[in-house]
């Protein structure tokens, strides 16, 4: 483990079924910045925002939303990555799209793509100035011809990663 980085909470390491009632069939949980909570992505095209603090006031902030859909088609969400300075996050799915989200304000910030095939992984660099997008067929439609795997690096625009400021009033 890198020096100066806190360990992952044991809940995430050893808990076999996340406590989210918002999402059936979740994929791996991804921690928020400062370890205040986590996001769960689903093979059913949903994302849930969860918090560790069990107080009723904090638990009232939990929510889930639908994403990675095209009309009636629902695509699995394969990847989630948090921006290291803004606290926003990106999701990548089998629709070949990447969306960025302001989880605090429950708003989509940007739509990136389409890429040639499914998004298998996402990662921001240490300061969030680069987003790595791994496009790789994830066999969601079984064995078939598919584009070659590729990793794309993009410099996100400020509006794609910065939280929206609510107008006072």
Q: What is the pTM of this model?
A: 0.81
The CA distances from residue 139 to 30, 84, 117, 146, in Å, are 23, 30, 10, 9
Domains of the chain (ranges; CATH) run 21-161 (2.130.10.10)
pLDDT of residue 5: 41
Q: Read off the pLDDT of residues 26-35 as tens digits, 9 standing for 90 and up.
A: 665 665 655 6
Burial class (CB in 10 A: 0-12, 13-18, 19+), 1: exposed
Under 8 Å CB-to-CB from 46, ≥6 apart: which residues? 22, 23, 64, 65, 66, 67, 77
In a structure prediction context, what are the per-residue pLDDT tens digits for the chain, which is 169 residues long?
Answer: 344 444 444 344 433 334 555 666 666 566 565 568 888 898 899 999 988 899 999 999 999 999 999 999 999 999 999 999 998 999 999 999 999 999 889 999 999 999 999 999 999 999 999 999 999 998 888 899 999 999 999 999 999 999 988 766 5
What is the sign, positive or negative, of the torsion defined by CA atoms of 128, 134, 135, 140?
A: negative
Q: Read off the pLDDT of residues 58-76 as tens digits, 9 standing for 90 and up.
A: 999 999 999 999 999 999 9
CA distance 43 to 23: 9
């Amino acid at each position: 483990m890198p020096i100066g980085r806190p360990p992952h909470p044991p809940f995430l390491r050893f808990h076999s079924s996340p406590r989210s009632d918002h999402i059936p069939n979740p994929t791996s949980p991804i921690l928020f910045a400062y370890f205040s909570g986590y996001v769960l992505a689903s093979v059913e095209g949903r994302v849930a925002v969860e918090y560790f603090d069990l107080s009723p006031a904090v638990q009232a902030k939990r929510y889930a939303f639908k994403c990675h859909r095209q009309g009636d088609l629902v695509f699995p969400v394969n990847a989630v990555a948090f921006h290291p300075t803004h606290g926003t996050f990106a999701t990548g799915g089998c629709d070949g799209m990447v969306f960025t989200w302001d989880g605090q304000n429950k708003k989509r910030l940007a739509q990136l793509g389409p890429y040639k095939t499914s998004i298998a992984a996402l990662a921001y660099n240490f300061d969030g100035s680069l987003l790595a997008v791994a496009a790789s067929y994830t066999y969601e439609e079984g064995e078939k011809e598919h584009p070659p795997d590729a990793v794309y690096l993009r410099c996100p625009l400020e509006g794609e990663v910065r939280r929206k400021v609510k107008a006072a009033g």
